[in-house]
């Protein structure tokens, strides 16, 4: 198996950077199409969070003029009355540099009573108000006097005029109306329209895992909004270093006395790996908030496998929920009786979360398309170069 080190690493990186700069962009491909299939468990039929029965996802991409590049992504846990048939939920914070609406009640009660929205940093309050209006407008909620919308965000300000915030309420309503099961659009769509990962275009990614019947047969699905940095690695291959674009690059090269690379970042925050990642987990396993929070912690392990170290300026949040009818909750219940999995049954779910998160993040990168604004243009990861690097390590597309 080919190894890269020292001067050969530098030559490979320079050569691939030249190829990437001169060649047309390869077509979008999901991770599995180039041999990236993390872990041991098989994906569901769509390899998406929607493989968890009842879960729907909707996007609305907002493009206005030469400066607004943002959007909304909606995750709906089930098709029933979300306010009265609540799903248990939990939050895990990898690094808390961010703004997550509705978090205190989610943690206090361990449940969701609305869909989950993802959007841009300064859009969360408008998105939250629109989600509250959406829920309160339902006839069955005519007497509801309080609602707790949950909205996550990442800062897409490198490409998006994030202070403008036009049309967000309308985008929320369209994303909710568009939500569907089945295949999920990925890349530069919805809340991933203006995001950046490792200096390349980021976006939305999703993946799932189906446990064998002997382990319960449960499904775990993950969707991510990738907008973070670090030192990109894919299946252990140091892709970011080999392509000459990684966090702390200027300082590392200066210390080594080597000429500066061509793949640097545009600002000090990006140079240090700053950015954020929202991760949403769904499962049909009967799991309550305590063990859902433990599942959320394992998603951060999948995030780390891609090369993130959760920098100071990175907001890394995980929301996990269970759709199982065996653990649903009514707001009027005075006695809760649940048939939940025990701790000893959780390990396979932890493994599934870690695998699906890693793959979803690869998909966010590989499915992204170029986005341009008056602030500049961010191109996707050069897929052909990545394919060459993976093949050199024996990682190939399935025949």
- Which two tokens mark 295? 């599942």
DSSP string, 218-252: -EEEEEEEEE--S---BTTB-HHHHTT--TTHHHH
Say which of 314, 322, 324, 385 is annotated catalytic: 314
What mean pLDDT do residues 67-84 have? 97
b/e code 351-369 from CB counts within 10 Å (16+ = b): bbbbbbbbbbbbbbbbbbe
Say which of 208, 276, 308, 322 is annotated catalytic: 276
- Say whether 188 is catalytic: no
Confidence class for position 3, pLDDT limits 50, 70, 90: very low
Q: Where in the chain is the domain with CATH 3.60.70.12?
A: 27-230+273-331+342-381
**CB-based contacts of 367: which residues, under 8 Å, 6+ apart?**
28, 29, 30, 186, 187, 203, 204, 205
Domain spanning 27-230+273-331+342-381, CATH class: alpha beta
Phi, psi of 339 (to 5 degrees): -110, 85
Q: What is the pLDDT of residues 348-366, one digit of tens each?
A: 999 999 999 999 999 999 9
Site of tokens 């005075």: 334
Say which of 156, 274, 316, 363 is annotated catalytic: 316
- Say whether 372 is catalytic: no
> 3-class SS at 361?
helix
153 exposure class (CB count in 10 Å sphere: 0-12, 13-18, 19+)? buried
Number of Cβ atoms within 10 Å of the Cβ of 27: 7
Element (DSSP H or E) covering residue 76: strand 68-76
Least trusted range by pLDDT, from 52-61, 223-232, 256-265, 294-303: 256-265
Q: What is the pLDDT of residues 39-61, one digit of tens each?
A: 999 999 999 999 999 999 999 99
- Say whether 181 is catalytic: no
Confidence class for position 269, pLDDT limits 50, 70, 90: low
């Amino acid at each position: 198996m080919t190894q890269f080190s020292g001067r050969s690493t530098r030559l490979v990186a320079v050569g691939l950077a030249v190829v990437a700069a001169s060649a047309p962009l390869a077509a979008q491909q999901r991770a599995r199409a180039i041999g990236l299939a993390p872990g041991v468990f098989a994906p569901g039929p769509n390899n998406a969070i929607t493989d968890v029965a009842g879960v729907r996802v909707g996007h609305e991409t907002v493009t206005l003029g030469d400066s607004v590049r943002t959007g909304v992504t909606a995750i709906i846990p089930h098709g029933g009355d979300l306010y009265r048939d609540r799903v248990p939920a939990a939050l895990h914070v990898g690094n808390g540099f961010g703004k997550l609406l509705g978090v205190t009640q989610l943690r206090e009660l361990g449940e969701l009573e609305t869909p989950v929205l993802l959007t841009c940093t300064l859009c969360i309050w408008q998105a939250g108000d629109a989600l509250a209006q959406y829920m309160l407008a339902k006839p069955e909620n005519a007497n509801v006097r309080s609602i707790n919308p949950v909205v996550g965000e990442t800062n897409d300000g490198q490409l998006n005029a994030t202070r403008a915030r036009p049309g967000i309420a309308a985008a929320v309503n369209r994303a909710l109306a568009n939500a569907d099961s089945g295949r999920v659009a990925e890349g530069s769509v919805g809340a991933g329209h203006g995001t950046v990962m490792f200096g390349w275009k980021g976006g939305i990614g999703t993946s799932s895992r189906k446990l064998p019947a002997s382990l319960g047969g449960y499904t775990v699905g993950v969707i991510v909004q990738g907008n973070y940095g670090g030192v990109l690695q894919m299946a252990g291959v140091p892709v970011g270093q080999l392509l000459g674009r990684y966090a702390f690059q200027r300082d590392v090269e200066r210390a080594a006395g080597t000429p500066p690379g061509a793949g640097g970042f545009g600002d000090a925050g990006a140079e240090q790996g700053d950015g954020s990642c929202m991760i949403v987990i769904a499962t049909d396993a009967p799991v309550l908030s305590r063990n859902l929070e433990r599942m959320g912690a394992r998603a951060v392990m999948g995030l780390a496998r891609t090369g993130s170290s959760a920098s100071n300026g990175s907001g890394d949040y995980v929301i996990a929920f269970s759709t199982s009818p065996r653990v649903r909750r009514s707001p009027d219940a005075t006695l809760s009786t649940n048939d939940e999995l025990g701790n000893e049954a959780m390990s396979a779910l932890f493994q599934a979360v870690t695998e699906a998160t890693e793959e979803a993040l690869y998909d966010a990168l590989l499915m992204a398309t170029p986005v341009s604004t008056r602030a500049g243009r961010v191109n996707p990861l050069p897929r052909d170069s990545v394919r060459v690097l993976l093949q050199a390590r024996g990682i190939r597309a399935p025949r």
